[in-house]
Amino acid sequence: MTDELSHLIGLMDMAKVSAKVRRRNKERVNQGLCLCCDKAPWRRGLCIAHYAAFLRKRNSLSKLSRGKFLLECERKGLVLAPRESEQIRSKDPFKEIA
Ligand SMILES: [Zn+2]
């Protein structure tokens, strides 16, 4: 198998996993649960403690490995993509009152 081909298959796998993961993440955040524990989510589907841990790890990486790290986290459902967390937040029913 060529590198290019296995890269493509990797991308396809990624897309497959994320539909399932995305559904599960949306459910958790809508229920007011962090993706990694049962505390309230703060940013990107994570509670303050897990978001801090996520940032700490991300900031320790080189620019090159950061993209890979982010993709891997999103694929595993450990963090929401920025756009996704925006979509979930925009469904806040309290926003429309007063
Ligand atoms: Zn947490």
pLDDT per position as a tens digit, 6-60: 677 666 665 555 778 888 998 998 899 999 999 999 999 999 999 999 999 999 9
57: in domain: yes
Cα 12 to ligand 1 centre (Å)? 29
Residue 79 has pLDDT above 80, yes or no: yes
For residue range 59-69, list pLDDT tens digits in order: 999 998 998 89
Q: Tell me the whole-structure pTM to 2 decimals.
A: 0.71
Within a domain: residue 18? yes
Write out the H or E segment, with its range, that includes residue 57: helix 48-60
Between the CA of 51 and the centroid of ligand 1 the distance, in Å, is 7
Assigned domain for 37 exists:
yes
Whole-number Cα distances in Å, 42 to 5, 13, 23: 38, 29, 19
Does residue 95 lie within any of the structural domains? no
- The pLDDT assigned to 26 comes to 87
- Residue 57 CA to ligand 1 center (angstroms) comes to 15
Taking the centre of ligand 1 as the mean of its atom positions, its distance from the CA of residue 53, in whole angstroms, is: 9
> Could you tell me the distance, in angstroms and rounded to a whole number, from the CA of residue 32 to the centre of ligand 1?
11
Counting the structural domains of the chain, the total is: 1
